[in-house]
Amino acid sequence: MTTTSMIQPKFLTKGDQLGVVAVGFSGGQCKPGVDAAPSALISSGLLTQLREDLGYKLYHDDTVHSYKELLPASDPDYRGMKNPLAVSAVTRKLCDQVYTHAKEGRCVLTLGGDHSIAIGTIAGTAKAIRERLHREMAVIWVDAHTDINTPETSESGNVHGMPVAFLTGLAKESREDVFGWLKEENMISLKKLVYIGLRDVDRGEKLILREHGIKAFSMHDIDRHGIGRVMEMALGHIGNDTPIHLSFDVDALDPMWAPSTGTPVRGGLTLREGDFIAECVHETGCLVAMDLVEVNPTLEPGIDDIGAHQTVRSGCSLVRCALGESLL
């Protein structure tokens, strides 16, 4: 553990610069409303806090991108995937946007959107980190789900359940307009992938985890060892000085803290545990990008939108912790 009060970013040559991309996209799953998350997070003050309280210089186009111009008139299922052309086109564009920030040496924050957008964000940072640092980056995927279905193993056809399969090459597709644009330089290694918070993993996904020996910490592991030990093991697996992309699905949190999400699963992380994960990643000094996804302010609003407010507040807290709020 470090004792200094300021964590020097080891990989961000411009440690006070933050690229922000707001993605109002919901096509990776079937419930409308997750596209409203970036505006909800921003109106609750997130970007102001990052600027004024945490001292970041933000690079943001002040736009919540819905990528309407990219959406095809017709988008029939392909290999069982829903909205294949839309998700592919949007994530391809997003990949470029994230890449542009990361290539400049900025840490990149992406506000989703459903988790399919990680296809674009991770593809963009992976490429930029390879070019800039000649390194392969690691991904910490905090989620109730593994999102590692291939189109063939998926029971839902929702692409938000598949991003990890496409990013690791487990799912392959040569059609350029259906993720064929993903090249070697955009991909990540299964060895550098770590899951935290799992509790709803499909049968086919479990087979994939076992077959490839993917590092995964379920809620059971967290109950057994405590979140402190789990983070030591997770970061130990990745190794020191490895650039880290943190992809945080808000449904990793227990529905008590994040009820407004498309696929809530009971028995999740407390907000404090989620914040702790984010703080530990910050402490490494190796964070190069973060996604916050699956906040759906229109779902489970409860009385007077309490649920939506709580979920947005939780999401903001996770982001601030990953960006250093808790440091003394």
Ligand X SMILES: NC(=[NH2+])NCCC[C@H](N)C(=O)O
Give whole-number Cα distances, 272 to 6, 177, 248, 249, in Å.
22, 41, 14, 15
Sole window of 1-9, 65-73, 104-112, 153-161 interacting with ligand X (rule: CB under 6 A): 153-161
Residue given tokens 């307009």 in the structure block: 177
Cα 22 to Cα 4, 258, 300: the distances in Å are 33, 20, 23
Three-class SS state of 211:
helix
Shortest approach of ligand X to residue 71 CB, angstroms?
Answer: 20
Instruction: Evaluate whether 65 touches 22 at the Cβ level (below 8 Å).
Output: yes
Residue 282 forms beta bridges with which residues? none
Q: Residues 146, 290, 186, CA angle at the centre, nearest 5°? A: 70
Tokens describing residue 306: 């309490």
Position among 17, 150, 158, 284 found at the interface with ligand X (CB under 6 A): 158
Contact between 147 and ligand X by CB under 6 A: the answer reads yes
Which residues are identified as catalytic?
A: 115, 143, 145, 147, 160, 249, 251, 294
Buried b / exposed e across 118-154, counting CB within 10 Å, b at 16+?
Answer: bbbbbbbbbbbbbebbeeebbbbbbbbbbbbbbbebb
Q: Does 35 participate in binding ligand X (rule CB under 6 A)?
A: no
* C-beta of 124 vs 264, nearer to ligand X: 264
Which CB atom, from 279 or from 294, has the smaller least distance to ligand X? 294
Rounded to a whole number of angstroms, the minimum distance from the CB of residue 12 to Mn ion is 25
156 is a site residue for ligand X (CB under 6 A)? yes
Task: Tell me whether residue 127 or residue 199 sits nearer to Mn ion (CB atom).
Answer: 199
In the list 112, 124, 151, 161, the residue contacting ligand X (rule: CB under 6 A) is 161
Task: Considering the complex, state which of residue 50 and residue 98 has its C-beta at the smaller distance from Mn ion.
Answer: 98
Binders in 50-109 for Mn ion, by CB under 5 A: none
218 near ligand X (CB under 6 A): no
Burial status of residue 68 (CB atoms within 10 A of its CB: 0-12, 13-18, 19 or more): exposed
Chain residues binding Mn ion by CB under 5 A are: 115, 143-145, 147, 249, 251
List residues binding ligand X (CB under 6 A).
Answer: 115, 145, 147, 149, 154, 156, 158, 160-161, 202, 249, 251, 262-263, 294
